Structure 1
Amino acid sequence: MTPPHPSSNPRQSLEGKNLLFLISEDWYFCSHRLPIARAARDAGAKVAVACRVRDHGDTIRKEGFDLHPIGLDRSGRNPLADIGTILALRKLYQRVRPDIVHQVAVKPVLYGSIAAWLAGVPHVVNAMAGLGFVFISKGAFASLVRPVLISAFRVLLNRRQSRLILQNGDDSALFQTKIGVRPDRIAIIRGSGVDTISFSPAPEPDGPIIASCVSRMLWDKGIGELVEAARILRHKGSDIVIRLIGPTDDNPASIPTETLDAWRSEGIVEVTGPTADIADAYAASHIAVLPSYREGLPKSLLEAAACGLPMVATDVPGCREVCRDGETGLLVPVKQAKPLADALERLAGDAALRKKLGAAARNAAEQEFAEPVIIGQTLALYESMLGGEN
């Protein structure tokens, strides 16, 4: 299913409707779904947000959204607690009575879809920004859970008045062939949109070449391979600076703080931790790098593209949607440090190539990934469902 075309007047179908976002964390809602929620509010919808509330509750409330704190543990493995979460969500849905619930990421989609079915929610939008730890891990727990998860998704994602938003064609093909989701239940909307005003090109900084990886510090983001690539470059006498920018979290693939501290002490990479100003971090960089194992559509690369930075990324779903080999960046094989080091070295030594790739990246951000484009497609999907499309 291609993205719906935005209508000229979304207010016709969203006026007076209740829209509820279910998402694990308040920070993720603010960074990835806030512009869409604002647009829905401005189109006349009453917007509510259910998430774990930590540092961004006031931000959400100041937007005029009803905020419902929930304790949805992304890394939890306690079946009794999970059943309790589903029942709590059902109670919430029955109380809020949303016309549409928009659920984001694996656990909210799974538990929220069960709760929506039990509560009789008329329209369900499920957004999968990637396949998550359970789908890509080869560990015992993931291998045990994966068949159950696939069977549950096959039922839940094919329900009438349910739509699955995916961010790239690779994931669409996978959900159809491996999980059995019908093509007419899938909408491809490429990302959550990037603010091309706040994220804009800046002149290259003076000094050594800086390649910044803006990401959560997870093993499956390829951080280990990037550190090894930095060692290779240092051994060759390169003065390229590899900068790791981002937080740890409770994801099972999270890199231990002790490991990050050891890398920092080793001096091979800069470990800066999270920052509230990604645009400023990119303005201080020459290259953006993300050697992830798999993505939906990485926001960090979208923001890098909007900043006009050339990219180095792995040739995997999601990354190659933004980093197009020889056009906006250089693609390298997944889980291989030497090709990663070679690509970084190539870009570091060729200012003209960096300029060419960065200009093309900025153009792609403006034409394909900008917030107005993605917001229009999302509101049009809401409209089509409220208008009676099964």
Structure 2
Amino acid sequence: MFNRSLLLFVANRAEFFVSHRLPIAHAAQERGYEVHVATPEDPYVPDLKAHDLIWHELELEGKSLNPLQELRTIIHLIQLYREVAPDLVHHIAFKGVLYGSIAARIARVPRVVNAFTGLGHLFSNDTVKIRLVRWVVLQASRFGFGHPNSRTIFQNPDNVDEFVDRGVLDREQVRLIKGSGVDVTTFDPAPQPPDPPVVILASRLVWDKGVGEFVEAARLLEKKGIEARFALVGKSDPLNPNAVPEDQLNAWDENGPVEWWGFREDMPSVFANAHAVCLPSYYREGIPKVLIEAAACERPIVTTDMPGCREIVHDGENGFLVPPQDATALAEALLKVLTSPDRRRQMGARGRQIVQEEFSLERVVRDTMSVYDELLE
């Protein structure tokens, strides 16, 4: 590694960087990198500065599809790269990867890491508009990913195949790093609380995460006379057109069949007060961090047989996989978990074993540092 190499992260939200990528930044600092982070302004920016990270404001509208705004973002990134002159830039999440990789080629950034967290709405919907946008994105990606000294990180093999089979990436450029990692000393096992059993869905509260199916499954189980509680943990996103409106969340909390616990940062204690975790997502995930955290805390998982979700759940061992957008199948799988405390304990223990073997934070950090070393050598 070069002496005091300058590493620049580009992310679409400081909040996400703090929750998912801060350990990688710390590891880079410990190895002697000068670490910079570019994100839009948000309430988590002071946290970045508190960790001795040099912050740059990024002009990025997360949900915008305005061509002029998108062009301004690329121009801004080109200027940023020329001013900061990083030895290595690490792009995070879809827009950061797409625009950052294009800007990096134009600005002649010497080394690039593109890290997808998931493929999202663009690859999980198939309307005419989405297909058109997807085609444009893939054409632009061919230019950005053509950087001669770059690596692209995916979190699951389905997403690797999506880009390799379409001819956007060569497989030699790709590295598979499963998820964002979890500190298994922070997310540690807790005994199951007293009955009635509690099932939580903890996520950004957007419809694509299967919130509607979760609510319907709770209704179906309530009609069967199953004594259980169901809770949503998270917040609405007013900038996301697929967000569950806050009025709807309040209505469910007041009238059932689910509770709304709001946004929580103390997730280990949330898992300690739950018996099982559910994420019926039909969104193209990377690997949902909440499922890795839940498994580390020895909580059984019910999720969908979708890319990313199925990476952490071994069906029948540490949870159950169900078809996406199928509330009846979801209710049936939840019933198996709710009615058997012994099964919950066995599945929970197996889940923690899987996390320790495949998804630990140490492994993710080590594998990411290896990608940096490849490029810097």
- Looking at structure 2, the residues matched to 170 and 14 of structure 1 have their Cα atoms a distance apart, in angstroms, of 35
Q: Contact between 1:306 and 1:362, CA under 8 Å: does it hold in 2?
A: yes
1:105 shift after superposition = 1.0
Q: Does 1:371 align with 2:330?
A: no
Q: Does 1:263 align with 2:267?
A: no
Amino acid at match of 2:354: A
Q: Contact between 1:133 and 1:252, CA under 8 Å: does it hold in 2?
A: no
Q: Contact between 2:145 and 2:168, CA under 8 Å: does it hold in 1?
A: no
Q: Counterpart of 1:94?
A: 82
Amino acid at match of 1:102: H
Local SS of the residue matching 1:24: coil
1:351 shift after superposition = 1.1
- Looking at structure 2, the residues matched to 94 and 240 of structure 1 have their Cα atoms a distance apart, in angstroms, of 57
**Partner deviation per Cα, 1:253-284 (whole Å, 9 max, x = no partner):** 21222222232233100111210111111010
Larger CA deviation: 227-236 vs 251-260: 251-260
> 1:71-110 counterparts in 2 under 5 A?
71-110=59-98
The counterpart of 1:277, out of the listed 266, 270, 274, is: 266
1:15 shift after superposition = 4.1
The counterpart of 1:253, out of the listed 239, 242, 265, is: 242
**Partner deviation per Cα, 1:4-60 (whole Å, 9 max, x = no partner):** xxxxxxxxx164101111001111000110000000000000000000121112211
Q: Counterpart of 1:312?
A: 302
State how many pairs are aligned: 375
- Looking at structure 2, the residues matched to 278 and 139 of structure 1 have their Cα atoms a distance apart, in angstroms, of 36
- Looking at structure 2, the residues matched to 245 and 379 of structure 1 have their Cα atoms a distance apart, in angstroms, of 33
1:139 shift after superposition = 3.7
What is the RMSD computed on CA atoms of the aligned residues?
1.2
1:239 shift after superposition = 1.6
Show structure 1 runs of 4+ deviating over 6 A: none
Q: Counterpart of 1:347?
A: 337
- Looking at structure 2, the residues matched to 301 and 181 of structure 1 have their Cα atoms a distance apart, in angstroms, of 28
Q: Counterpart of 1:231?
A: 219
Q: Counterpart of 1:9?
A: none
1:179 shift after superposition = 4.7
- Looking at structure 1, the residues matched to 296 and 87 of structure 2 have their Cα atoms a distance apart, in angstroms, of 34
Q: Counterpart of 1:6?
A: none
> 1:1-390 counterparts in 2 under 5 A?
13=1, 15-249=3-237, 250-293=239-282, 294-387=284-377
Q: Contact between 1:90 and 1:119, CA under 8 Å: does it hold in 2?
A: yes
- Looking at structure 1, the residues matched to 223 and 10 of structure 2 have their Cα atoms a distance apart, in angstroms, of 47
- Looking at structure 1, the residues matched to 43 and 344 of structure 2 have their Cα atoms a distance apart, in angstroms, of 37
Q: Contact between 1:194 and 1:302, CA under 8 Å: does it hold in 2?
A: yes
Amino acid at match of 2:68: L
Q: Contact between 1:243 and 1:271, CA under 8 Å: does it hold in 2?
A: yes
- Looking at structure 1, the residues matched to 146 and 262 of structure 2 have their Cα atoms a distance apart, in angstroms, of 40
Local SS of the residue matching 2:12: strand
1:140 shift after superposition = 4.4
**Partner deviation per Cα, 1:69-96 (whole Å, 9 max, x = no partner):** 2231110121111111111111111111
Q: Contact between 1:14 and 1:43, CA under 8 Å: does it hold in 2?
A: no
Local SS of the residue matching 2:375: helix
Give identity over the alignment, percent: 41
Larger CA deviation: 137-146 vs 319-328: 137-146
- Looking at structure 2, the residues matched to 221 and 263 of structure 1 have their Cα atoms a distance apart, in angstroms, of 17
Amino acid at match of 1:364: I
- Looking at structure 2, the residues matched to 363 and 271 of structure 1 have their Cα atoms a distance apart, in angstroms, of 30
Structure 1: gaps spanning 5 or more residues: 1-12
Q: Contact between 2:220 and 2:331, CA under 8 Å: does it hold in 1?
A: yes
Local SS of the residue matching 1:153: helix
- Looking at structure 2, the residues matched to 188 and 361 of structure 1 have their Cα atoms a distance apart, in angstroms, of 21
1:363 shift after superposition = 1.0
Amino acid at match of 1:333: P
Give TM-score scaled by structure 2 length.
0.97
- Looking at structure 1, the residues matched to 246 and 159 of structure 2 have their Cα atoms a distance apart, in angstroms, of 32
Give TM-score scaled by structure 1 length.
0.94
- Looking at structure 2, the residues matched to 330 and 213 of structure 1 have their Cα atoms a distance apart, in angstroms, of 15
Amino acid at match of 1:239: E
Q: Contact between 2:59 and 2:76, CA under 8 Å: does it hold in 1?
A: no
Structure 2: gaps spanning 5 or more residues: none
Local SS of the residue matching 1:302: helix
After superposition, the Cα gap between the structure-2 partners of 1:158 and 1:237, relative to the gap in structure 1 and judged at 3 Å, is same
